[in-house]
A and B are shown apart, each in its own frame.
Chain A
Amino acid sequence: MKPFTQLDGLVAPLDRANVDTDAIIPKQFLKSIKRSGFGPNAFDEWRYLDVGQPGADNSKRPLNPDFVLNQARYQGAQILLTRDNFGCGSSREHAPWALEDYGFRVLIGPSFADIFFNNSFKNGLLPIKLDAAEVDELFRQCEASEGYRLKVDLAAQTITRPDGKSIAFDIDPFRKECLLNGWDDIGLTLRHADKIRAFEEQRRAQHPYYFA
């Protein structure tokens, strides 16, 4: 996994609640057996005026001028501001794959859906939960000033606004450590292989019917 330490990035606002993973990456792209290449189809139904198909040349498709991420001022954005319950719905990891491939590294919102939140960390994408009032203020500032950037420091657990205000955020220490180092979860877990084996043997003895 790609480590995440610090980022000074352009911010884009996606001002709607309950953005679901079907919206982040529609189902026809889930037929891929690869992990990469989903970025051009992130938010496909909002971003383009036609219906996307796997394998199509997205550079030739008509863009929806009303979709916020298509505005010139947000090109190259690496931080996405969101509203409540971002990433709800399906467990498809294609959603964080698409956001990461699009270029996002940080998501900031008042709340995220559980499975999406979890999947993001596995892909070097940092979702940050802030109070709704803080998020409101970031939306206001971002929309008011073109080229709005934020500095995110994972080690210090801070977001710094252009006006100098620093906002602290929470993160599980274990997740933080994994993300800072880009650690592979599986490698970490396999350090406990003996413990897993012992647990399994005990469970097999106690509940043999789960091992039929």
Chain B
Amino acid sequence: MKAQTLYEKLWSSHVVHEEADGTALIYIDRHLVHEVTSPQAFEGLKLAGRKPWRVGSIVATADHNTPTDHWDLGIQDPVSRQQVETLDANIREVGSLAYFPFKDARQGIVHVIGPENGATLPGMTVVCGDSHTSTHGAFGCLAHGIGTSEVEHVLATQCLLQKKSRTLLIRVDGQLGRGVTAKDVVLAIIGRIGTAGGTGYAMEFGGSAIRALSMEGRMTICNMAIEAGARAGLVGVDETTIEYLKDRPFSPKGAQWEQAVDYWRSLHSDEGAEFDKVVEIKAEDILPQVTWGTSPEMVTTVDGRVPDPAAVTDPVRREGIERALKYMGLEANTPITDIPVDQVFIGSCTNSRIEDLREAAAVAKGRSKAASVKRVLVVPGSGLVKRQAEAEGLHEIFLAAGFEWREPGCSMCLAMNADRLEPGERCASTSNRNFEGRQGAGGRTHLVSPAMAAAAAVTGRFTDVRAL
């Protein structure tokens, strides 16, 4: 049989029907739902008199609008509250496999709770009305974000209309240096191929440096595949994947576990499989990364400088850099380590899992927030992550350093709740998007790893974590 890529295996095992032009109906195994992109879909379904096809595929939570402190007060913003209550009502009415509402012990960011509950499994198709659904591809499943019309389509038909993507392999071989994390790897990849470099592709990450990563690290990398333009990120299944999934609440048990694992072991790209495009990166070349602009591709190494637009010939690119520097309040050629920060955010579906918090705590331990830094928010990805961190005493390290230890949620990654930057404030953030206004109107975001964020918190400016 012809050698196949992982994407081809996943695609061909889900095609229900194909139109003459290649548009296919693919079957959806898992439908993750949150409060922001689902209300119009449930309403559309109801207006058309349709019923959900298979409610057992639905796992839902409220994450974007939920506050990260004073849970006893409920959701203060009435518009946010209405959106969360609408999700409550919709799930109550139609049902689900699992629902983790606001304040539930297992509530959290949808892309954290799916995997940690074993609701994301290898070989599945996973969708959610959220672009960071690419995260779940770390488990060797085909996972991507969809719009609200598609949420309604999946609710009604359990299928999605899709055309097959092209395949892109990003191979990272070698050993990552000390202080260099999965976040640095994915930012370096985006810096290399650009924010549209993966458009139209399913992006698989392979090579010895990826194989050596934990599931948390692989999720960080797949999470930001969308920041390189690829709807889906993928990592092949190996023992790390299987070990992570064993004994999770929704993971198969007993004989079914054995049967599943047998199948899952086939979910990797075959030796000699052909990709439409291959990009190779040496792990040793990757240094800690810091973004300086308003797109994730506007990134450099911590020992680098803010670029000089005068050195760029392409007028669209030059104007883009000029506009970004103006928005970010930065001068060309400034060393990255000369840039001070006002706030630090450690959290988001990119970097709020236990390993991320351990990395940040290792830097914070025995140190204190710099006096010039107004606030350091540490927001765990879920209630389970929070409890685990507390069991390990990480919260005490953060609190002793003057950081704030919050309740789980999306928080200041997109500032739909009360956590946000004020205009002009500069933030070292472990999130995924440095777009204008992303963390609050006029706010300035620099994307970094959890360790680099903690380093900025204790020194007051971007600092090479390896030198601390």
Contact = CB atoms under 8 A, between A and B. Distances in A.
Given A122-B147, A174-B21, A199-B27, A113 B199 contact: yes
Interface string B426-465: 0000000101111001100000000000000000000000
Nearest to B119: A212
Contact of A114 (B54, B229, B435): B229
Nearest to A95: B147
B358 interface: no
B159 A207 contact: no
Contacts of B56: 211
A93 B149 contact: yes
Interface stretch (A22-30, A57-65, A143-151): A22-30
B40 A34 contact: yes
Contact of B316 (A17, A122, A210): A17
Interface of A: 15-18, 20, 22-23, 26-28, 30-35, 45, 51, 54-55, 83-85, 88-93, 96, 111, 113-115, 118-119, 122-123, 172-175, 185-186, 189-190, 192-193, 195-196, 199-200, 203, 207-212
B289 interface: no
B43 interface: yes
A203 B27 contact: yes
25 contacts: A22-B433, A28-B416, A31-B36, A31-B79, A33-B40, A35-B40, A54-B79, A84-B196, A85-B199, A91-B145, A92-B36, A93-B147, A115-B131, A118-B146, A122-B149, A122-B150, A186-B48, A189-B159, A190-B157, A195-B16, A195-B25, A199-B27, A207-B263, A209-B256, A210-B30
Contact of A172 (B65, B129, B163, B250): B163
B16 A27 contact: no
A2 B39 CA distance: 21
Contact of B156 (A88, A114, A119, A190): A190
Interface stretch (B80-88, B304-312, B369-377, B392-400): B80-88
Contacts of A45: 436-437, 441
A185 B437 contact: no
Nearest to B250: A212
A22 B438 contact: yes
B156 A91 contact: no
B229 A113 contact: yes
B285 interface: no
Contact of B37 (A28, A91, A96, A212): A91
Contacts of B323: 16
A115 B150 CA distance: 10
B157 A207 contact: no
B105 to A, nearest CB: 21
B158 interface: yes
Contacts of B226: 89, 115
A174 B319 contact: no
Contacts, number: 196
A12 to B, nearest CB: 17
Contact of B121 (A91, A173, A209): A209
Q: Which 7 residue pairs are nearest across A and B when measured between Cβ atoms?
A: A209-B252, A119-B147, A122-B149, A93-B147, A33-B39, A91-B145, A91-B131
Contact of B260 (A23, A192, A209): A209
Interface of B: 16-17, 19-21, 23, 25, 27, 29-30, 36-37, 39-40, 43, 48, 50, 53-54, 56, 64-65, 77, 79-80, 82-83, 86, 121, 123-124, 129-131, 133, 144-150, 152-153, 156-159, 161, 163, 195-196, 199-200, 226, 229-231, 250, 252, 256-257, 259-260, 263, 295, 297, 316-317, 319-320, 323, 414-416, 423, 433, 435-438, 441-442
A10 to B, nearest CB: 23
A89 B43 CA distance: 25
A189 B196 contact: no
A115 B441 contact: no
B146 A115 contact: yes
A178 B62 CA distance: 34
A173 B37 CA distance: 28
Given A33-B86, A83-B316, A113-B196, A186 B50 contact: yes
Contacts of B79: 31-32, 54-55
Contact of A186 (B36, B124, B156, B415): B156
A208 to B, nearest CB: 6
A189 B157 contact: yes
Given A30-B416, A33-B83, A114-B199, 4 more contacts: A23-B437, A28-B416, A122-B147, A174-B19
B196 A30 contact: no
A73 B292 CA distance: 35
A211 B37 CA distance: 24
A115 B147 contact: yes
B256 A93 contact: no
A208 B48 CA distance: 31
A126 to B, nearest CB: 15
Most B C-beta atoms less than 10 A away, residue of A51, A54, A96, A210: A210
Given A45-B441, A114-B229, A195-B16, A189 B21 contact: no
Contact of B43 (A33, A193, A208): A33
Contact of A199 (B16, B130, B153): B16
Contacts of A185: 149, 153, 161
